[in-house]
Amino acid sequence: MSIYDIEVTTIAGQPQSMSAYRGKNLLIVNVASKCGFTPQYAGLQALYDQYKTRDFAILGFPCDQFGHQEPGNEVEIQQFCSSTYNVTFPMFAKISVNGSGTHPLYKYLKGEKPGVLGTEAIKWNFTKFLVGADGTVLKRYAPTDTPEAIGADLGPLLPGGKS
């Protein structure tokens, strides 16, 4: 199994295969609208704007498993993201990242890149996974790792070299 065998649902409710992102470097993030890390949306959008023409995409997956910080439905989430942070990177339907209902994408990501001390559980919103253009899960970032800091890891991976 690879990441490209997994199906996700867009925020508009359409099924989509992760194979649509084959050949792109990805930053996959579990997001929330009412979290202390929510301002990272601005940095994520800046990163997307900077690298989207270089085979890079950010994929946002809303999650309400941490302190009920994503209470809205998909329409409300989309409206918040676009009106507050001008988000244009792909957003998806709300999912679970932990527990018995964990979405297959997050089962895969956590299995490929466990966290500190080998634990697979996602600790909080805005945990990020960097996936290479070949589908390899390269790195797992903590919620406190800012998009700006992650940008330093992206440059060398993307077509065209450094920054």
Catalytic site positions: 35
- Residue in this structure with the two tokens 């800012």, named with its chain if needed: 146
- Kindly give, in sequence order, each residue whose CB lies less than 8 Å from that of residue 113, ignoring residues fewer than 6 positions away: 129, 137, 138, 139, 140
Tell me 103's DSSP state. Answer: -
The answer for 86, left when phi > 0, alpha when psi is -120 to 50, beta otherwise, is left
The HSE-up count of residue 109 (CA atoms within 13 Å, CB side) is 27
Structural tokens at position 105: 């994408």
Q: 19 and 9 in contact (C-beta within 8 Å)? A: no
